[in-house]
Homo-oligomer: A and B are copies of this chain.
């Protein structure tokens, strides 16, 4: 297959990890007879510096014409005090909205060799394998009005959803549950919010279409507790944008390997943007020591969700597991009796695995 991929390295270590993912994808293409073409564009702080906007029109245009997008990371202290419209993360919010990427998938699963670094006891976290499906283009993030009032003495934001927006994300989540362990937890705050009541209604209506999936409704505060006390009890979690932001970050630290977590942001037709959960880590940028594995796992999600290359996606995932099992890791991780290596060496190990597979 021929696929055209836009690379958006962004800021900090984004540059380095995107390079690794490109290397791994190129090796995969050779082995499995695909043609992947790449085109690199600016986003985030780097784009602010060069084009005075965190999302240049040319970047957006290129993404629209691509088969999928890989993003490194955006942000850094340099831009922290820039005015709101010039903040790197505005580029991220804008690209999600402009491309219609309404479904954010955040899988969380432990790696055996890394579980020892979890803040949780191993017996609590060990069987965790969950997927958070977060609505990404609605709710408080984009609702209007969102403004100062009364000469600046008051302020409002708006949590807005249409039934259609809720239906499509809920449908999505049911489908993921069907190909996983068939259990869906819908998280809301239906004892307080009108939007949550509609959310709960939609989930109740939809469940007839997915009779093989068991559904529970859980309040967001209680979900925040249960993620810690019993993370292994979750399979798929579906929730609105802001709750999803908080819960998916909470979930990301459970297994002790934040540096290993990928994410996917998808449109209805399967087009998507893929990025690691970790940030731009400006403190270690440019030193050749960044961990490329979350970016490589994000590329694996791209192969699976946007290109339907199940086998190739599995090979990339296996490659990551295999290098860890062999004890190779970057400095952000610790593996007992392991070998600490740099970004390039770790990437080469991944490529070796792909070639020898």
Contacts and interface: CB of A to CB of B under 8 A. Distances in A.
Interface of A: 84, 87, 89, 93, 118-121, 124, 140-141, 143, 146-148, 150, 152-164, 189, 191-195, 197-198, 220-222, 224-225, 227-229, 242-243, 245-250, 252-254, 258
A279 to B, nearest CB: 9
A154 B146 contact: no
State how many copies of this chain the complex holds. 2
29 contacts: A89-B191, A118-B121, A119-B228, A120-B121, A140-B159, A147-B194, A148-B194, A150-B162, A152-B198, A153-B163, A155-B160, A155-B197, A156-B158, A156-B194, A156-B195, A157-B159, A157-B193, A157-B195, A158-B159, A159-B159, A221-B246, A221-B249, A221-B250, A224-B247, A225-B249, A225-B250, A228-B228, A242-B242, A246-B246
A154 B162 contact: yes
B141 A192 contact: yes
Interface centre among A156, A248, A253 (most CB of B within 10 A): A156
Nearest to A157: B159
A208 to B, nearest CB: 19
A193 B120 CA distance: 31
A189 B248 CA distance: 15
A253 B227 CA distance: 10
A197 B146 CA distance: 11
A218 to B, nearest CB: 12
User: Closest 7 CB pairs between A and B?
Assistant: A221-B249, A224-B250, A157-B159, A155-B198, A153-B163, A119-B124, A154-B162
A62 to B, nearest CB: 25
Contacts of A229: 119, 253
Contacts of A119: 120-121, 124, 228-229
Contacts of A152: 163, 198
A192 B121 contact: no
B225 A194 contact: no
A325 B156 CA distance: 49
Contacts of A163: 152-155
Nearest to A243: B246
A155 to B, nearest CB: 4
A160 B153 CA distance: 11
Given A163-B152, A222-B249, A250-B225, A194 B121 contact: no
Contacts of A227: 250
A250 B231 CA distance: 13
Contacts of A249: 221-222, 224-225
